[in-house]
């Protein structure tokens, strides 16, 4: 188990290193000068732009910029965002918790919905419930994330204005509300983005869960359980579900990149000031310290998530431990 963990850890580190290095190179190779983007006014002279480039170290050769960046990362310094004029660390300290709240809640909700729907479908495969839910899942799985987010926004914030249109809290009144009022305000603002993200992710999970359950329902132990007097539904939920959870645990790690990508669109549409919004704005501004550090952070989260899923699967299934 120790060797297995060490190998997976090294793989995770190499993935993070490769992704961030590639991002660093790509963002610098992309056409367009970040200082020109920031200083577009016709009255700005080239010496002023040169001064800004020098201030942020953008006048150095690419290799030197990369080494300096690596050195500062090693010191725990993520650099300075020249588009937001703030230390990257401060930007992330604000944005990351917001994204974690959004994606964390969405992930939990997605798995809850996905597993429940998968079980409901697998209870009577081919039945009307299975077919009906299957169609809904297919639609949810197929629609682009931004489209669903926009639809939810227009429906529930504009046509039937029962939920807020965006942000994390009421921008004006929140600070003046009572404690319970503030909690309710936060929850109301979470509903649309979390539900959108959760539904998109749940669609895939439910399909996996249904397939995994159908794979195990014909096993001998299921027949034995039913023969000993358990109802089909109880046997499915008590015995088959446990055995069918392994692929879904693996899916959890695979969901993380998709969840991170989905969060970008959902944050954008719901004006959720998290990592997705920050990263998109940074890319448009060619803000290399912010983009690269953002990718470093997201790839680390994904790699750690993947590692944890591998460990989880290994703990849940002794055969994997033995094989490794």
Partner 1 sequence: MPHPLRVSGLTAVLSMLVLALAACTDRTAQPTASAGAGDEGGTIVISTAADAGSLLPTLVTSITDREVTDLLFDRLAEIGYSLNTVGDKDFSPQLAERWEWASDSMSIVFHINPKARWHDGAPVRASDVRYSFGLIRDSTVGSPIASLVSNVDSVSVRDSLTAVVWYKHHVPEQFYDFVYQVVVVPEHILSNTPGAQLKSADVTRRGIGSGQFRLAKWEPGVRLELVADTANYRGRPKVDRILFLVSPDYNAAATRFFSGEADVLEGLRADLIPKMATDTTRRVIRFPSLNYSYLRFNAVDPTAPSRPHPIFGDRAVRRALSMAIDRRAMLRNVFDTIGHLAYGPFPTASSLADSTLSQLPYDTMQARALLNGAGWRVGPDGIRVKNGRRLEFALATPSSSAIRHQYAVLIQDALRRVGAAVRIDESDFPSFTAGQLARTHDAEMGSYNPDPSVSALRQSWATAGIGGDGQNYGSYSNPVVDALIDSAMTSFDAARTEDFAHRAFNRIIQDAPAVWLYENPSMAGVARRIHTTRIRADGYWSGLADWFIPAAERTARDRLGLRPTP
Strands annotated E in the chain? 80-81, 86-87
Range 185-244, binding partner 1 (CB under 8 A):
none
d(CA 303, CA 14): 10
Does position 183 bind partner 1 by CB under 8 A? no
Which is closer to partner 1, CB of 65 or CB of 121?
65
Does position 281 bind partner 1 by CB under 8 A? yes
Binding residues for partner 1, rule CB under 8 A, total 60
Does position 15 bind partner 1 by CB under 8 A? no
307-311: long-range contacts (C-beta < 8 A, 24 or more apart)? 307/8, 307/9, 307/12, 308/253, 309/249, 309/250, 309/252, 309/253, 310/8, 310/253, 311/5, 311/8
x/- binding map, residues 259-278, to partner 1, per CB under 8 A? Answer: ---------xxxx-x---xx
Compute the C-alpha angle 123/125/127, nearest 5°: 100
d(CA 292, CA 25): 9
x/- binding map, residues 133-152, to partner 1, per CB under 8 A? Answer: -----------------x--
Could you tell me where the DSSP H helices lie in 154-231? 179-216, 220-227
Which is closer to partner 1, CB of 169 or CB of 246?
169
Looking from the CA of 19 toward its CB, the CA atoms found within 13 Å total: 19
Which is closer to partner 1, CB of 121 or CB of 288?
288
Does position 43 bind partner 1 by CB under 8 A? yes
Does position 80 bind partner 1 by CB under 8 A? yes
d(CA 90, CA 77): 11
Q: Choose the binding region for partner 1 from 1-9, 35-43, 68-76, 297-305 (rule: CB under 8 A).
A: 35-43
Residue choice 114, 118, 164, 294 for contact with partner 1 (CB under 8 A): 164
Does position 180 bind partner 1 by CB under 8 A? no
The H or E element spanning position 263 is helix 245-269
Does position 289 bind partner 1 by CB under 8 A? no
Q: Which residues have CB under 8 Å from 175's CB, separation 6+?
A: none
Give residues in contact with partner 1 (CB under 8 A): 30-34, 36-48, 51-52, 55, 80, 82-87, 91, 94-95, 150, 153-154, 157-158, 161, 164-168, 170-173, 175-176, 268-271, 273, 277-278, 280-281, 284-286
């Amino acid at each position: 188990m120790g060797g297995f963990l060490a190998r997976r850890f090294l793989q995770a580190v190499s993935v993070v290193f490769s992704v961030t290095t590639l991002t660093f190179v790509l963002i610098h190779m992309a056409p367009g000068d970040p200082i020109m983007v920031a200083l577009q006014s016709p009255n700005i002279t080239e010496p002023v732009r040169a001064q800004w480039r020098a201030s942020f170290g953008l006048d150095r050769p690419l290799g030197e910029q990369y080494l300096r960046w690596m050195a500062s990362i090693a010191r725990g310094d993520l650099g300075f965002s020249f588009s937001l004029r703030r230390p990257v660390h401060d930007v992330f300290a604000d944005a990351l918790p917001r994204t974690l709240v959004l994606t964390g809640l969405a992930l939990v909700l997605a798995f809850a919905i996905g597993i429940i729907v998968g079980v409901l479908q697998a209870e009577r495969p081919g039945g009307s419930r299975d077919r009906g839910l299957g169609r809904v899942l297919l639609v949810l799985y197929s629609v682009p994330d931004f489209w669903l987010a926009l639809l939810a926004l227009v429906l529930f914030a504009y046509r039937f204005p029962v939920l807020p249109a965006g942000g994390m809290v009421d921008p004006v009144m929140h600070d003046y509300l009572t404690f319970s009022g503030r909690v309710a305000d936060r929850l109301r603002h979470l509903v649309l983005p979390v539900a959108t993200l959760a539904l998109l992710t749940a669609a895939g999970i439910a399909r996996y869960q249904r397939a995994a359950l159908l794979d195990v329902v014909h096993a001998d132990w299921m027949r034995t359980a039913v023969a000993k007097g358990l109802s089909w539904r109880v046997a499915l939920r008590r015995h088959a579900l446990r055995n069918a959870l392994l692929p879904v645990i693996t899916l959890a790690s695979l969901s993380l990149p998709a969840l991170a990508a989905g969060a970008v669109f959902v944050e954008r549409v719901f004006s959720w000031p998290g990592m997705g919004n920050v990263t998109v704005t940074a890319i448009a501004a060619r803000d290399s310290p912010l983009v690269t550090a953002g990718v470093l952070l997201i790839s680390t989260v994904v790699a750690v998530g993947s590692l944890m899923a591998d460990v989880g699967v290994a703990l849940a299934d002794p055969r994997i431990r033995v094989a490794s």
